[in-house]
């Protein structure tokens, strides 16, 4: 398992993969209590990291604006309505 400092360098896919491994370990129930608490806390931190990455990605997504003839004329933020 990576330490907390490595988490900021993780891609979304890497963080999700590690989070899935943590969930599998916890679901098996064969992990000592102290270790369960440790990996649960790591999972919470990974979840927060994933949410941060998703939020940043959503802010970068743009919607293509079309004119009355259906031709692209530019972009605008996805959530601008």
pLDDT beyond 80 at 49:
yes
Going by pLDDT thresholds of 50, 70 and 90, the confidence category of residue 56 is confident
pLDDT of residue 18: 96
Q: What is the pTM of this model?
A: 0.70
Q: Which of 13-17, 40-44, 52-56, 71-75 has the lowest mean pLDDT?
A: 71-75
Radius of gyration of the chain (CA): 19
Going by pLDDT thresholds of 50, 70 and 90, the confidence category of residue 17 is very high
Q: How far is CA 3 from CA 8, 23, 28, in A?
A: 10, 17, 23
Distance in angstroms (rounded) separating the CA atoms of residues 44 and 78: 28
């Amino acid at each position: 398992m990576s330490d907390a400092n490595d988490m900021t360098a993780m891609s979304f896919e890497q963080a999700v993969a590690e989070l899935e491994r943590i969930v599998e370990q916890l679901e098996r129930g064969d992990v000592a209590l102290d270790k369960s608490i440790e990996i649960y806390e790591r999972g919470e931190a990974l979840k927060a990291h994933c949410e941060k990455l998703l939020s940043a990605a959503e802010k970068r997504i743009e919607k293509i604006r079309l004119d009355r003839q259906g031709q692209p004329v530019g972009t605008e933020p996805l959530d601008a309505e």
